[in-house]
Structure 1
Amino acid sequence: MSRGYLLSAPALALFVALLIVPLGLTLVLSFNLFDYEVGVKSDSYTLANYASLLSDSYFYEIFWRTFWISALVTFLCVVIGVPEAYILSRMGTPWRSIFLILILTPLLISVVVRAFGWSLLLGADGLINQAIAALGGRPLKMLYTPFAVILALVHVMLPFMIIPVWTSLQKLDPAAEQAAQSLGASQAKVMRMVVLPQIMPGVLSGTLIVFGLAASSFAIPGLLGGRRLKMVATVVYDQYLSELNWPMGATIAVALLLANLLIMLSWNRLVEGRYKKALGE
């Protein structure tokens, strides 16, 4: 037993140093007093930052926008990613490897680069509006809108949905589907009654990853949402670097973390309960 603890000590120390300590310092900072004349007062503590956060409708609007965009991005990733993972799992060699590489390749490109790519496509003089104008239509305002942010986030987050679902599908025996079809079940019923319950752990993992990453995303909302379409991460950035109000920025960051944990744990409990019920446990 002691040898096991010793072997895990380096990983535990790294976890504490890189995650627990920064989160703890951020939590402490959120209670510090801030004065625009002298800056952060590290020896003074207050609940005023949390009171300001909870009493200002501006922050409620920012959090609501962040979570509905994240939920919609997660839903779209499920709708697109699950069928794509299913098709990928049924492909033979070498096509499976080729398409898997194509799915993973965007992860090798910086999110900032991809965001600039979308801005070139969606801008007022972008390729899409140039094509619309060439066809005689009126240019559309797509950049700095929720549409642009959602579209880019789906593009960025989709691999994080496909891979967990594809991994779950690798454990599914195709003979189970063939047996259901031989008994007269339609393809839709096979997907609903046989395939979907078996891949729910992968879908659950994918939704948790996508929602968490989308809710805390900064580059995409910052570059494609502009100054008006703010999300929580961009507000934290403004508080730290524009307002220099580090305690308020830390307060918003802590609130985002707690809200994310609450939503994700509730979703995990709900989906796991239905998954166990579907399996008859």
Structure 2
Amino acid sequence: MDSTLPATQGTSAHAPRAPWHAFVPLWLMSAPALLLFSTLVLVPLAMTFALTFYRFDPAIGPIAAFDFHNYVEVLGSSYFHTIFLRTFGIALLTTVLCVAIGTPEAYVLSRMSDPWRSIFLLVILAPLLVSVVVRAFGWSMLLNMNGLVNQAFALLGLGPYKLEYTTFAIVIALVHVMLPFMVIPVWTALQRLDPQTENAALSLMASPATTLRRIVLPQLMPGILSGSLMVFGLSASAFAIPGLLGGRRLKVAATAVYDQFLSSMNWPLGATIAVLLLIANLVVMLTYYRVLERRYARSMG
């Protein structure tokens, strides 16, 4: 018994120690990030939500009064109904166009070899390096009555057409801005695609169209889903492009919030529009996510 005692003591003395983070609760490790998130996101949202229950007096300003007057005004007004329908209609059209353009673009990009892939990827990401206000002014110069587009139409004996301050101008500029947010997720999903599955389908006499539809496209659905959610959410809340290319006549929810806060100084009503936009955006995006997730799961068995 005595001869085995030193060996046992030596073994326990050199046993590996548990890492320091094993003794720290998980909630305490995430506390700094949670505090930062609460300060920058949750607190402003809570203050904006509380402001929606205020009343607005033109002589005094916002008055603390817990009622639903602002919600009744927004939800019961056909003027705001039109604004919200236009907002989500533009966002939906922008998302559809980005899916139709970005998915084939990402597929072609994945089939390229270096250095062409890197060059075209840089071209796709280049719009993100320029301010959205600069891009909006650029589209304004292209689409106004004396812009390059109408000058090209004039050479063909057509026009001039009123392109600026139209829904077309807003959508085309939003597609230009949002396209990278669609291409990158789809391209990332393509990187995980095993090319042998396509070769196996082709070797079994499947046509390229069938292979693309039955093999490639179902595996791209996670990338298309995440990209379309980002595009829709960013398009529905966009401000600079609708404000500069839509003018005063084509208002969307973001420009309506801006007008209420800075023009009319009706902060409670502007906060109500912003909160309803956030809620409607979340409802649409979560519903869209659930529907596509179920279809994707069904298609993948």
TM range (shorter): over 0.9
Aligned to 1:50: 71
Give the SS at the match of 1:44. coil
Instruction: Give the residue type in structure 2 aligned to 1:274.
Output: R
Give the SS at the match of 2:146. coil
2:161 paired residue among 140, 144, 148: 140
Give the SS at the match of 1:139. coil
Instruction: Give the residue type in structure 2 aligned to 1:54.
Output: L
1:78 paired residue among 69, 84, 99: 99
Instruction: Give the residue type in structure 2 aligned to 1:12.
Output: L
The answer for unaligned runs of 5 or more in structure 1 is none
1:194-220 deviation line (CA, Å, top 9, x unaligned): 111111111000010000000000000
Aligned to 1:273: 294
Aligned to 2:36: 14
CA RMSD of aligned residues (A): 0.9
Aligned to 2:9: none
- The TM-score, its normalising length taken from structure 1, stands at 0.97
**Post-superposition shift, 1:45?**
2.1
- The TM-score, its normalising length taken from structure 2, stands at 0.91
Instruction: Give the residue type in structure 2 aligned to 1:272.
Output: E
Aligned to 1:217: 238
**Post-superposition shift, 1:10?**
1.3
**Post-superposition shift, 1:228?**
0.3
1:32 paired residue among 54, 57, 64: 54
Does 127-136 or 216-225 show the bigger shift?
A: 127-136
The answer for unaligned runs of 5 or more in structure 2 is 1-21
Aligned to 1:97: 118
The aligned length equals: 279
1:164-210 deviation line (CA, Å, top 9, x unaligned): 00001000011110110111111111111111111111100001000
Does 2:147 align with 1:126? yes
* Runs of 4+ deviating beyond 4 Å: none
Q: Percent identity?
A: 61
Mapping of 1:232-247 within 5 angstroms?
232-247=253-268
Aligned to 1:150: 171
Aligned to 1:203: 224
**Post-superposition shift, 1:46?**
1.7
Distance 1:44 1:267 in 2: 36
Instruction: Give the residue type in structure 2 aligned to 1:127.
Output: L
Instruction: Give the residue type in structure 2 aligned to 1:55.
Output: G
Distance 2:286 2:144 in 1: 38
Distance 1:138 1:199 in 2: 41
Distance 2:91 2:264 in 1: 26
Does 2:243 align with 1:226? no
